[in-house]
Amino acid sequence: MAIRSILIVVRTSLLTNNFVLTIKYFFGEIRYVQSGLETANNPHWDVVAEIPRAAALLHPLRLRILESLREPDSAAGVARRLRISRQKVNYHMRELARTHFLERAGQRRRRNMIERRYRTTAQGYILSPELLGRLGLSLPQMEDAFSAAYLLGFLALAQSELGRASREAAEQGKRLTTLSVTSELRFESAQQRARFAGKLRTAVIETIGRYASPFTLDDGSPGNGRPYRLVLGCYSIPPQSNEDGAN
């Protein structure tokens, strides 16, 4: 059974760097196949947390327009490529610009006309669980560490907090410091999986106790230092669909 494990540290305060580490497991050998600091050239993701923006984004034609404007182009150019009227493209591009999914990218002369060019404000977009309010952020009442619902609840919480912190960082012209570790592995039996989970849980608890400071003090007051949230999860990778394989 193929398993994907994730380790995400979400930092709610602002610093300067992001670190990404990908781990691959080959025949008993662990290889660190990708690591480094985030640079300005890395893809930027826009976390959409407002209902009006989400409504403006979730329109089939607008999604096609955004896909067409990863590189700057005019409404006329997009209309030619999508084979629809320029007036229709103009309308939807104005709405996308109004909701900050498009930005101006200069202009060009075509015959006797000056065409304004636009491009996407981000490389990709993520819908925040905040859009659903409590329905999107509520955690299961039962604390079952092996429950998919419990893991999904914490991942939704992490996505929401990370999106909010990213927006605050962008407003201040800063970067948000995060750490991400991903790995893909396999288990041949339930016993092997259980031993792995127990050892991993013990190692994480020991590492936190040795190298981190308490989040709260004995009297319930906040501890010292900047607050972090660590989410450690592991789930079975679903079979690849025909559509995924085609892509």
- Contact present, 35 and 20 (Cβ < 8 Å): yes
CA–CA gap between residue 160 and residue 132 (Å, rounded): 11
Tracing tokens 């380790």 back to the chain, one arrives at: 7
Q: What is the value of pTM for the model shown?
A: 0.62
Domain membership of residue 93 as a residue range: 50-124
Per-residue confidence band for 122, with pLDDT thresholds at 50, 70 and 90: confident
* Domain end marker among 79, 105, 124: 124
Tens digits of residue pLDDT in 139-148: 655 566 667 8
**Contacting residues for 13 by C-beta, under 8 A, at least 6 apart:** 165, 177, 226, 227
- Quick one: 139 and 163 in the same domain? yes
- Quick one: 86 and 145 in the same domain? no
Domain count of the fold of the chain:
2
- Quick one: 36 and 61 in the same domain? no
Which of these ranges, 5-9, 12-16, 47-51, has the smallest mean pLDDT? 12-16
- Contact present, 232 and 150 (Cβ < 8 Å): no
Tens digits of residue pLDDT in 56-96: 999 999 999 999 999 999 999 999 999 999 999 999 999 99
Note the pLDDT of residue 99: 95
In angstroms, how far is the first alpha carbon of the chain from the final one?
A: 23
215 dihedral zone (left: phi>0; alpha: psi -120 to 50; beta) = alpha
